[in-house]
Amino acid sequence: MTEALAPGATIGILGGGQLGRMLSVAASRLGYRCHVYEPGAAPAGDVAARVTTAPYEDEAAIRAFARAVDVVTYEFENVPAAALDLIESIVPIRPGRRALAVSQDRIDEKDFLSGLGLATAPYARIDSAADLDAAMAGHDRAILKTRRLGYDGKGQLRLATGDDMAAAWARVNAPSVLEGFVDFSAEISVIVARGTDGAVAAFDPGLNLHEGGILRRTTVPCGLPARLVQDAVLIASRIVSALDYVGVMGVELFVTPAGLVVNEIAPRVHNSGHWTQAGCAVDQFEQHVRAVAGLPLGDGRRHADVVMENLIGADTDRLPDLLRAPDTQVHLYGKSEVKPGRKMGHVNRIVRTG
């Protein structure tokens, strides 16, 4: 087992957004300092001990960052490989490089999941308009997604029989994957953690509602039969174990008549896990810090029913009412500019059931 980081050690975080911000807060509760590396604006910088503002291509800055920390983790997947190579030559990266490589490319991710015998949407590699036309012939409806850099509905295009495939390809014009439509009744996600000792702990699955490709709400408990809940947790546990993963991962699944279908994985703390801040003694952020620091994982049992709602764009106008609401936790991300579709914060409402 890896020796745990002592209090006072420094955790490096690649990315300075809201996830890095909340990781920094959780780390501070356990006596750790955080050093954030972010090329642009860094809301996490408001609460981190130190921030480096530099491009990922700046080798000198990357090297100095790696030498100033005891372990490195990340809040988003799309860190350039060259930067990771340099960091890894100096200090451990957790979760490891394999999880990043798998999740950075949607084809690699689907191949990995299928290789484990897990169900995914039918998929095809798309590198040209001709590929798209041929692959679409097998589907009434499908989604064209860029293989890399897509999030919150970006880099995605819904297609149906009769659409102009040449025009669709011209809009995307990047290595992509075509995913056949999955007839699902619900989407759930499991937030699962694996420690340096191989121990695995999962939080209860949450029921997700998306609007415009962006997560709007997660409700826990998810309301599904116990058999499906158990299957979801087992699938998530199988994924992190196969990757020899260390840290927290979000696993999104579709509920279908034939069972659970894995939609995608995120090798980091996840938006749909924010409910744990109000529903568990150890939330997903502390669980991730525990894992990457080599500490024992915490108890992920839920002590309350929770509805998490993202505050998107002008939702912040509702703040006075939200701050007055009972049993409601308000989390703001410190972003100065409100934009349509931009996540400005979230609220966790504890639901009283009796």
CATH number assigned to the domain comprising residue 30: 3.40.50.20
What percent helix, strand, coil does the chain show, rounded to 5?
30, 30, 40
Q: What is the pLDDT of residues 73-87, one digit of tens each?
A: 999 888 999 999 999
Which of 283, 270, 215, 218 lies closest to 240, judged by CA? 270
Task: Read off the pTM.
Answer: 0.94
Residue 298 placed within a domain: yes
User: Looking at the predicted structure, is the pLDDT value of residue 225 above 80?
Assistant: yes
- When divided into structural domains, the chain yields a total of 3
Residue recorded with tokens 């897990």? 118
- Map residue 177 onto helix, strand or coil: strand
Two tokens, residue 82 = 């060259």
User: Looking at the predicted structure, is the pLDDT value of residue 148 above 90?
Assistant: no
* Bond into 340 cis (ω within 30): no
Q: What is the pLDDT of residues 110-123, one digit of tens each?
A: 999 999 999 999 99
C-alpha span between 126 and 82 (Å, rounded): 26
Query: What is the model's pLDDT at position 151?
Result: 58
Q: What is the pLDDT of residues 159-169, one digit of tens each?
A: 988 888 888 88
What average pLDDT score do residues 277-293 get? 98
> Is residue 336 very low, low, confident or very high in pLDDT (cuts 50, 70, 90)?
confident
Residue 109 placed within a domain: no
Two tokens, residue 336 = 């100065």
C-alpha span between 206 and 195 (Å, rounded): 22
Quick one: 216 and 273 in the same domain?
yes
The CATH number of residue 257's host domain is: 3.30.470.20
Q: In 53-185, which ranges are E strands?
A: 71-74, 123-126, 141-146, 156-160, 176-180
Residue 2 placed within a domain: no
Two tokens, residue 233 = 């947790």
* Bond into 95 cis (ω within 30): yes
Name residue 171's amino acid: R
Average pLDDT taken over every residue of the chain: 94
User: Looking at the predicted structure, is the pLDDT value of residue 283 above 70?
Assistant: yes
The distance from CA 123 to its chain's CA centroid, rounded to whole angstroms, is 21
Q: Which domain holds residue 146?
A: 122-180
Quick one: 336 and 207 in the same domain?
yes
Q: Out of 180, 195, 226, pick the residue that ends a domain.
A: 180
37, 52 Cβ separation under 8 angstroms: yes
